Structure 1
């Protein structure tokens, strides 16, 4: 009993002391002392936390932020054009009486920026540069053009010239050799013809670290007098091995030769392979069986792009698939006339006024070395023919521009007609083919 009383007294005493202390704490002087102590303690804690935070920030500054890996993609744009034919009407028009010289730059002035801005521009030359000593200058049927055309083509932006076509021998061996020499001297690459058997039949162009193999072939014809000839002229024996040619009667052998050249280009490092084919029937709007046969053969051999010339009219662009289903090939059956005087007024055929500049974009992933060839796009062109100040003009213009100051009222109407013709033909086989924006 006594123990319980003692415990009770102890509890009561403790409570009295606590109440006493609380009373003193609530008094202003003592309370301020306690608050000050607690406040300083909290301030110290906050300062320590701030120091630690600053230290972490300094440490984080020393750690470089992760860099997002970006794939390196290199690209190349290749443009190609159709037949360049300097008929007598153009030859006469480009002569300047005041200087006694020929100047062809105005023929190309309105499409110059398109070719110039591409990484590589290829054209088909259907004339020779044989000088004045060898029968003089002339248009159809045996072409010989002043050297100033070469300068105009260089000024326009061409890089590669294909000249294995039916006019390559219009001035015989002399014209063949001089034409090549003039082109090479002006800095062009020449495809389709060679100067000696020691030269390769193709070229490899390295552009933006992408290796592009380019080769050209042209058809030959047979008459009662010879087996293989061009434009009524038998190919001399010494030139037979120097020209890349095919013939309907030796097509299997010729295709095998093409296959060998494809293999050689790949051995030389070609990552993209382009064929420039002079083939087909003149003035036809669709390819013939030989064109289709060659195109499918080259598709099966994994050629990337085929550019076609010769018909003097546009033919469709298509995307063919290899027989094993593993690859596609873009085939431009014919790019039509780029520059000529073949017009409705002369030959009653409006299609010969039309041409296209075909654009192909190639990209390469420099990390994986994967190369991609895009679906071609095209720019329709039209040869604008008009008279001014008692002088005639032949000028290649984009057919997508119908309100330019250089067009007459008649020209504005006819360029729209040209655009509609071209669009209907080019996109005939494949609606994924579009005009370049």
Structure 2
């Protein structure tokens, strides 16, 4: 009886707090950002690359978020630039993402050692010189100790960002450099340390799962539950190159306070296999009311790597809001892009049937 009374009092106080006591923070998550050889060849302009059209159609939406996060799945390994299977992207790619509004890059992924340890070091130093915050790879133990768990401060919120990868394509990093691998013992220690910062939310960004599988593996599900059990609030996944379902979970008091996104899919790439030509951006509104921390909303919006012919007469890519562009296609405003329409239809079918309390939102 006492527990019930306490719960009623808690709900009353929670609902009666003045609006000024409630703060919110919006975080936008985007999936795998990759630059394949065709992208390099068709955007090269002398010694640089013209990527001005890449993100112009979604820039406003990205910049509206307080924090925008992207999985930077290419090293800045220097010349010669190359695509799959051993990526090395030009700095122009990082600059284009930064210009679009992305201010936090995730580096722990299976391609971070594509240019071996030298490429890892160069990526860290280049992003530092561009004043782009990042995590997941480190110069040495001292660097990791000073910057990890990564604490982001925004609008008086304290957000911890964690980042781990399942593998680095069989390549090993040379000492003293460090890559964050998925290791429960390491992650448990990191989460314990993260709690010492008294964060409002802890976010684990995981590079995991099986490529091209639209449903999460048993291992993903088990690891997500384990992370939430350790005290992580949001688990955001990348790597499969296709979108996988999302779950907003409630605490014992019925208030949503945990989120799992199994895979965001591709944000930008030149991949053409079915379901890999797009991805999802997930927008999460984090709130606090008094001592309570909760998720006010979690929504996804589909994005698509749309092909077109640029001013130099070469095939180029622009990331577009897939849902609104699909509607314009079907209404005859654009030339019909059957691949875009198919992507939206199939992805909606998957998510409508498997998401839990994470709905779609559409932007132009």
Instruction: Answer yes or no: is the 8 Å Cα contact 2:108–2:136 preserved in 1.
Output: yes
Deviation of the 1:379 alpha carbon = 0.8
Match of 2:91 among 147, 164, 167: 147
Q: What pairs up with 1:360-379 in 2 under 5 angstroms?
A: 360-365=284-289, 368-379=290-301
| C-alpha distance in 1 between matches for 2:231 and 2:333 | 43
Larger proportion of helix: 1
1:244 — aligned with what? 180
Deviation of the 1:202 alpha carbon = 2.1
Residue 206 (str. 1) matches residue 144 (str. 2): no
Higher relative contact order (CA 8 A, sep 6+): 2
What is the CA deviation profile of residues 155-201 of structure 1, one whole-angstrom value per residue up to 9, with x for unaligned ones? 01011100111111111111000101111111111111122212343
Q: Relative to structure 1, is the Cα distance of residues 243 and 71 closer, same or farther in structure 2, using a 3 angstrom cutoff?
A: same
Match of 1:426 among 351, 356, 362: 351
Q: Relative to structure 1, is the Cα distance of residues 122 and 290 closer, same or farther in structure 2, using a 3 angstrom cutoff?
A: same
Larger radius of gyration: 1
Is 278-287 or 300-309 further displaced after alignment?
300-309
Q: Relative to structure 1, is the Cα distance of residues 407 and 285 closer, same or farther in structure 2, using a 3 angstrom cutoff?
A: farther
| C-alpha distance in 1 between matches for 2:85 and 2:339 | 28
Residue 410 (str. 1) matches residue 336 (str. 2): yes
Unaligned residue ranges in structure 1 (runs of 5+): 1-67, 221-229, 247-253, 344-348
Deviation of the 1:334 alpha carbon = 0.4
Instruction: Answer yes or no: is the 8 Å Cα contact 2:248–2:298 preserved in 1.
Output: no
| C-alpha distance in 1 between matches for 2:333 and 2:133 | 34
Q: What is the SS of the residue equivalent to 1:282? A: coil
Deviation of the 1:74 alpha carbon = 1.4
Deviation of the 1:313 alpha carbon = 0.7
Instruction: Answer yes or no: is the 8 Å Cα contact 2:58–2:321 preserved in 1.
Output: yes
| C-alpha distance in 2 between matches for 1:70 and 1:352 | 43
Instruction: Answer yes or no: is the 8 Å Cα contact 2:152–2:159 preserved in 1.
Output: yes
2:187 — aligned with what? 258
Deviation of the 1:303 alpha carbon = 1.4
Deviation of the 1:323 alpha carbon = 11
| C-alpha distance in 1 between matches for 2:93 and 2:84 | 16
Computed over aligned residues only, the root mean square deviation of the Cα atoms, in angstroms, reads 2.5
| C-alpha distance in 1 between matches for 2:149 and 2:350 | 30
Instruction: Answer yes or no: is the 8 Å Cα contact 2:59–2:100 preserved in 1.
Output: yes
Deviation of the 1:410 alpha carbon = 3.0
1:397 — aligned with what? 320
Q: What pairs up with 1:173-322 in 2 under 5 angstroms?
A: 173-198=117-142, 199-220=146-167, 230-239=168-177, 242-246=178-182, 254-320=183-249
Q: What is the SS of the residue equivalent to 2:88? A: coil
1:48 — aligned with what? none
1:105 — aligned with what? 52
| C-alpha distance in 2 between matches for 1:234 and 1:210 | 36
Residue 95 (str. 1) matches residue 44 (str. 2): yes
Residue 163 (str. 1) matches residue 107 (str. 2): yes
| C-alpha distance in 2 between matches for 1:293 and 1:207 | 31
| C-alpha distance in 1 between matches for 2:278 and 2:333 | 16
Q: What is the SS of the residue equivalent to 2:354? A: coil
Is 295-304 or 395-404 further displaced after alignment?
395-404
Q: Which TM-score applies when normalising by structure 1?
A: 0.73
| C-alpha distance in 1 between matches for 2:171 and 2:332 | 41
Q: What is the SS of the residue equivalent to 2:267? A: strand
Q: Which TM-score applies when normalising by structure 2?
A: 0.87
1:359 — aligned with what? 283
Is 192-201 or 76-85 further displaced after alignment?
192-201
Deviation of the 1:107 alpha carbon = 1.1
Residue 79 (str. 1) matches residue 28 (str. 2): yes
2:11 — aligned with what? none
Instruction: Answer yes or no: is the 8 Å Cα contact 2:77–2:89 preserved in 1.
Output: yes
Instruction: Answer yes or no: is the 8 Å Cα contact 1:103–1:149 preserved in 2.
Output: no
